[in-house]
Structure 1
Amino acid sequence: MPDTPAMRTVGFILLPGFPLMSYAAAVEPMRAANTLLGCELYRWWHAAPGGGAVQASNGIAILPDVDVGDTALDADRVFVCAGGNPAGFDDPALTAWLRHLARRGITLGGISGGPYLLARAGLLTGRRCTLHWEHVPAFEERYPEIEVVRSLFEIQDDRITCSGGIAALDLMLNLIERDHGPGLAAGVGDWFLHDQIREGLSPQRMDLRLRIGVRDPRLLRVLAAMEAHLEAPLSRQTLADLARVSIRQLDLLFRNRIGVSLHQHYLALRLDRAHRLRRESDLSTSAIATATGFASAAELSRAERRRRLKAKAPSNATGT
């Protein structure tokens, strides 16, 4: 008679405003694996700071069945699932519990913004991690000693981090493959109409050609360089050299293909980064200005004010 497959217990610590898609993409593959193999390969529990029902970002609530701080619970892996502004969430009881779980040798993971909580507890020091691209700039400013990789997920010994969204499905399929073999992982992927199990190092973001809707290789080189150099913006001449055109020709390419000037697009990227840093970090305006390529806090504030005024200005278009 064949041996009964090992059963694993997985915990989910859900923070208020957690991303429901990320959570569902992590828990549903385990349910499917149980169903497909006809036995309990996985069981899971939920915990939340405060102990009451915890709401996802879309308002759906989940009732925890484990208390934060429980030192006797069973778990092989525990994931912190967070969204919104994880940098602003500080719960000493949760931090202490995560450290306790780590001392017990339990594998700890963070999904979407969850790595913030592991980093706050000192559990990612000397490790490589990933998290949702929206949280990366503030995370890197706050934890410069932690290596951040812009990948779908990272599995490094007893730490697992995931960028969230559908990447959580790819993560769980990889874990199911490690636990029970490629056949079951493929079956679970097929169950969810997921015809390709992506590797962890796959990029998080959509290809620039699709995300911005351009195919011109000259523009693509420049756009990629802009996104990679927000703290120390590249000069217009450097960008034109990348495109192998004149500054005037490059500006015309931007206006014709993207609808704004070269300067306007670059400025918008830097202001978007500044907005995320304001929302997700406690950095001063001066520090945010430095991190986004502005000469001073005053220059950043003026640029933000002009953007707000422009957004509020009535359209010049007329109807009939």
Structure 2
Amino acid sequence: MSGSIAGIVETLRSWLYCAFLSPVTEVLSSLPRSRERTPPPVKTRDVVLLLFERFPLIPFSCLVDCMRTANRFTADHAYRWHLVSPDGQNVCSSSGVQVTVEGPLEDVAACDRILLVATNENQYFADEQTFRNLWTLDRRGALLGSASSGSFVLARAGLLDGYRCTIHWENLPVFRELYPHLEITSNIYEIDRSRGTCSGGTAALDMMLKLVEQDCGHEMARRISQIYQHDRLRTPDDRQRMENRYDLIRLSPKLAEAIDLMQNNIEDPLTPQEVASHVDVSLRQLERLFRKYRDTTPQKYYLKLRLENARQLLLYTSWSGLDVAIASGFSSHSHFIKSYRDVYGRTPREERVPDTDRSE
């Protein structure tokens, strides 16, 4: 009796499996596994990084690591990068890290992008062969860009004419004086057709993420951003954080507007009354805002901006003291010298003498 019951149970089990479980199992096995994502196919792009002696390491790392991470998430590597220098010699970063390059720039026949990583010491870089090589790559369709002060090199070569561009805020005064015909912004990066420039530092990551977005889609760029704990994908409309500007906009938009106005009128300074009128406040209101948030007067703050501009020109150009004074809004050379010494404790001429050469 027990044997016949066991046989009936086994028969029912086999029937149920064939009728219901087997088809369901076949359907489930045919479905793709959620964890097995096939990386999207993309075009592989060749990116050349042109490194100059004493190049900054942070923007260089941002570029390379962003491309490396993009390669992790694509079926075919999205990027191949090549390291070169103007003369093919190995280069040393500003922090002392030695980098081996593949060769000189002139060996690069073609590429999709070439990004310059340079220091502000390269603002007078004038190697004609390098300029010719860059122009050749431009004619062959490469995007030319800068991850740091390489904007100086591109501008000197005439390769930024007619394009929006940017540079680190510390270099903006010198850059604007040297190239007044360029459309220079204070944004963190600019991508304008076949040109891409950024303000250095981690802004190189923002610019590279934007290029990844163009190449591989928004989701890929967002995913890489999260890998690097980057809070969001910043856009070219994001401005550089100059002197806690965002906090100031939140606390006092009128004062932020007044400071922007002063920064954009260094060579031909406005009077405090003119500044107040432009931002639609009274002179007394403007004075109260400067006293509350900057602990100074509008006149002293404006003078500080003009002297900072002068200091950058003294350190990074070969202009005469008189030319520096005029470009910084001083009609009297003697007044410029006195004002400079009062703030920095040395004359403009002494500013250009290395510390090791100054007499004690």
Structure 2, unmatched stretches of 5+, are 1-37, 348-360
Counterpart code for 2:210: N
2:106 aligned residue (66, 69, 84): 69
Are 2:276 and 1:228 equivalent residues in the alignment? Answer: no
2:49, 2:117 within 8 Å by CA — same for their partners in 1?
A: yes
Counterpart code for 2:120: G
Are 2:41 and 1:19 equivalent residues in the alignment? Answer: no
2:166, 2:198 within 8 Å by CA — same for their partners in 1?
A: yes
Following superposition, the deviation at residue 152 of structure 1 comes to: 2.1
Following superposition, the deviation at residue 189 of structure 1 comes to: 1.0
2:187, 2:237 within 8 Å by CA — same for their partners in 1?
A: yes
Instruction: Normalising by structure 1, report the TM-score.
Output: 0.85
Post-superposition Cα deviations, 1:292-313, rounded to whole Å, max 9, x if no partner, equal 11003333222222223289xx
Instruction: Normalising by structure 2, report the TM-score.
Output: 0.77
2:340, 2:346 within 8 Å by CA — same for their partners in 1?
A: no
Matches within 5 A, 1:16-55: 16-37=53-74, 39-55=76-92
**What is the SS of the residue equivalent to 1:200?**
coil
Are 2:8 and 1:5 equivalent residues in the alignment? Answer: no
- The residue number in structure 1 matching 2:168 is 132
Larger deviation, residues 41-50 vs 250-259: 250-259
1:85, 1:279 within 8 Å by CA — same for their partners in 2?
A: no
Matches within 5 A, 1:259-274: 259-274=295-310
Q: Quick one: distance in 2 between partners of 1:209 and 1:66?
A: 42
Q: Quick one: distance in 1 between partners of 2:189 and 2:345?
A: 39
**What is the SS of the residue equivalent to 2:144?**
strand
Structure 1, unmatched stretches of 5+, are 312-320
Higher relative contact order (CA 8 A, sep 6+): 1
1:152, 1:167 within 8 Å by CA — same for their partners in 2?
A: yes
Post-superposition Cα deviations, 1:4-63, rounded to whole Å, max 9, x if no partner, equal 421111011111222211111222111001112354211111112343331222222211
2:87, 2:103 within 8 Å by CA — same for their partners in 1?
A: no
Following superposition, the deviation at residue 146 of structure 1 comes to: 1.8
Among all aligned residue pairs of Structure 1 and Structure 2, give the percentage whose two residues are the same amino acid. Answer: 35
Larger deviation, residues 116-125 vs 252-261: 252-261
Counterpart code for 2:136: H
Q: Quick one: distance in 2 between partners of 1:291 and 1:120?
A: 20
2:272, 2:283 within 8 Å by CA — same for their partners in 1?
A: no
2:89, 2:104 within 8 Å by CA — same for their partners in 1?
A: no
Larger deviation, residues 193-202 vs 283-292: 283-292
Following superposition, the deviation at residue 218 of structure 1 comes to: 5.0
**What is the SS of the residue equivalent to 1:99?**
helix
Counterpart code for 1:28: D
Counterpart code for 2:59: S
Counterpart code for 2:199: S
Post-superposition Cα deviations, 1:174-196, rounded to whole Å, max 9, x if no partner, equal 11111111121111111111131
Matches within 5 A, 1:123-272: 123-206=159-242, 208-209=244-245, 215-241=251-277, 242=279, 244-247=281-284, 250-251=286-287, 254-272=290-308
Following superposition, the deviation at residue 260 of structure 1 comes to: 3.2
Q: Which structure would you say has the larger Rg?
A: 2
- The residue number in structure 2 matching 1:301 is 337
- Structure 1: 4+ residue segments shifted above 6 A: 211-214
Q: Quick one: distance in 1 between partners of 2:97 and 2:142?
A: 29
Are 2:136 and 1:104 equivalent residues in the alignment? Answer: no
Counterpart code for 1:284: S
Q: Quick one: distance in 1 between partners of 2:323 and 2:213?
A: 44
RMSD: 2.8
Q: Quick one: distance in 2 between partners of 1:119 and 1:236?
A: 34
Counterpart code for 2:169: W
Choose between structure 1 and 2: higher helix proportion: 2
- The residue number in structure 2 matching 1:317 is none
Aligned in 2, Cα 1:174/1:256: closer, same or farther, shift over 3 Å? closer
1:6, 1:41 within 8 Å by CA — same for their partners in 2?
A: yes
Count of aligned residue pairs for this structure pair: 309
Aligned in 2, Cα 1:22/1:3: closer, same or farther, shift over 3 Å? closer
Q: Quick one: distance in 1 between partners of 2:200 and 2:248?
A: 22
Larger deviation, residues 208-217 vs 166-175: 208-217
1:276 aligned residue (312, 326, 331): 312
Post-superposition Cα deviations, 1:45-88, rounded to whole Å, max 9, x if no partner, equal 1112343331222222211112132153x521001111233323
2:89, 2:103 within 8 Å by CA — same for their partners in 1?
A: no
